[in-house]
């Protein structure tokens, strides 16, 4: 099977064929695995010491967002896809608690209960050493997804991948996708006073949004950010923070939200302020409720996120490892900004 090596390319039909190839042992390649016997593969993680992986796979998945609808869909898809692939998988969800997630991962490294760790980091810097150094030193294969490790979220292309791990899998979280989203907002609002309502400051999504909004402001001097506020990603804080934002800055006519729960709360605050239609609301997430808000004219556009597609790539990547396939250092779902013109043909994944 030929995996696409171009950064950001969807595995598409090639990924779908992995289950057929899972029993075949193929030659090694850069960034991939070479099989030395039916029972083991040697996996290149970009260091001097490949990881030896033997079936059956026993996978610990460490996610962070099971308390949100995005994470619930991702966790459910990981479970169902693993079952279909006959992969033993257990999920540990820290619900955005970085210290709890680090403890979970350190325990897995010490006990070696799992030979593969799939990780959606709460904070990629907090778990950087554990996943890129300690886990491979213990012979554990690490597959990060959704958030890059070790402060790499400001990088692009293959530089999102952290040596010591197999790959980086993204269903939405790259600088390239965010740039497309923010540039679309700025193009539609060349003269605007902008409020940004985002998640926690340590999130790569927040960091990249801040950097790229500044870039958009430099390229479009009339596109001015007047305030940025952080939330815990909940609809309630989206509502509260947007309400306070509008009271402090009544001149705001564009509100950018980096997660769909935040957007739902923001839309409610804007409606109660009597400004629905006069404030341009931009969402990143594209969940079912945001689609409804777009169809009602309360949200202008969304940058979709793909938890189910991301989860499927994780499982197909694990199948590829056992098949001795070469795995790209970056794997991401194709992205385009959804507006009122094509919202009727867009199907949200959560």
Question: What average pLDDT does this structure show over 318-335?
Answer: 95
Same fold, 12-170+307-331 and 175-304: yes
Question: What average pLDDT does this structure show over 227-253?
Answer: 97
Chain centroid to CA 9: how far?
Answer: 15
Question: What average pLDDT does this structure show over 55-66?
Answer: 92
* Beta bridge mates, 58: 88
Listed range (36-45, 77-86, 140-149) with the worst mean pLDDT: 36-45
Question: What average pLDDT does this structure show over 224-247?
Answer: 97
List Cα–Cα distances, 275 to 30, 294, 317, in angstroms: 54, 15, 46
Q: Report d(CA 279, CA 332) in Å as an integer.
A: 32
Mean pLDDT (the chain) is 89
> Does the structural domain 175-304 have CATH classification 3.40.50.300?
no
Q: What is the pLDDT of residue 68?
A: 79
Q: What is the pLDDT of residue 303?
A: 98
Interval 108-164: pLDDT, tens: 999 999 999 999 999 999 999 999 999 999 999 999 999 999 999 999 999 999 999
Domain-by-domain residue ranges, the chain?
A: 12-170+307-331, 175-304
List Cα–Cα distances, 254 to 64, 102, 272, in angstroms: 30, 37, 16
Interval 173-232: pLDDT, tens: 899 999 999 999 999 999 999 999 999 898 889 999 999 999 999 999 999 999 999 999
Residue found by looking up tokens 């996978």 in the block:
59
Q: Which CATH number applies to 12-170+307-331: 3.40.630.30, 3.40.50.2300, 3.40.50.10420, 3.40.50.1580?
A: 3.40.50.2300
Give exposure, 232-251, as e/b (b: 16+ Cβ within 10 Å): ebbbebbbbbbbebbeeeee
């Amino acid at each position: 099977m030929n995996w696409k090596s171009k950064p950001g390319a969807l595995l598409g039909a090639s990924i779908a064929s992995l289950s057929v190839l899972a029993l075949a042992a193929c030659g090694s390649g850069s960034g991939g695995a070479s099989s030395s016997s039916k029972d083991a593969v040697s996996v290149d993680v970009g260091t001097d010491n490949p990881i030896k992986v033997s079936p059956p796979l026993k996978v610990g998945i460490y996610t962070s967002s099971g308390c949100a609808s995005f994470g619930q869909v991702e966790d459910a898809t990981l479970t169902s896809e693993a079952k279909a692939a006959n992969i033993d998988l257990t999920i540990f969800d820290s619900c955005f608690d970085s210290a709890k997630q680090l403890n979970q991962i350190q325990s897995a490294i010490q006990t070696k209960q799992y030979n593969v760790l799939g990780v959606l980091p709460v904070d990629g810097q907090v778990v950087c050493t554990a996943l890129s150094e300690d886990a491979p030193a213990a012979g554990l294969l690490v597959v990060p997804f959704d958030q890059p490790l070790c402060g790499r979220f400001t990088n692009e292309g293959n530089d999102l991948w952290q040596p010591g791990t197999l790959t980086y899998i993204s269903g939405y979280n790259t600088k390239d996708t965010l740039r497309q989203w923010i540039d679309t907002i700025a193009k539609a609002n060349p003269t605007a006073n902008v409020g940004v309502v985002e998640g926690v400051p340590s999130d790569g999504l927040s960091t990249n949004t801040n950097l790229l909004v500044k870039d958009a402001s430099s390229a479009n001097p009339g596109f001015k950010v007047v305030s940025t506020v952080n939330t815990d990603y909940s609809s309630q804080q989206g509502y509260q923070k947007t309400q306070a934002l509008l009271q402090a800055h009544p001149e705001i006519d564009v509100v950018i939200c980096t997660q769909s729960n935040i957007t739902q709360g923001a839309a409610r605050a804007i409606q109660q302020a009597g400004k629905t239609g006069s404030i341009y609301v931009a969402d990143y997430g594209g969940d079912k409720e945001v689609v409804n808000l777009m169809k009602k004219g309360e949200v202008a556009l969304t940058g979709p996120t793909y938890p189910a597609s991301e989860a499927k790539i994780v499982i197909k990547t694990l199948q590829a490892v056992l098949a001795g396939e070469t795995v790209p250092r970056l794997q991401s779902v194709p992205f385009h900004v959804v507006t009122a013109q094509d919202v009727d043909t867009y199907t949200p994944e959560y």
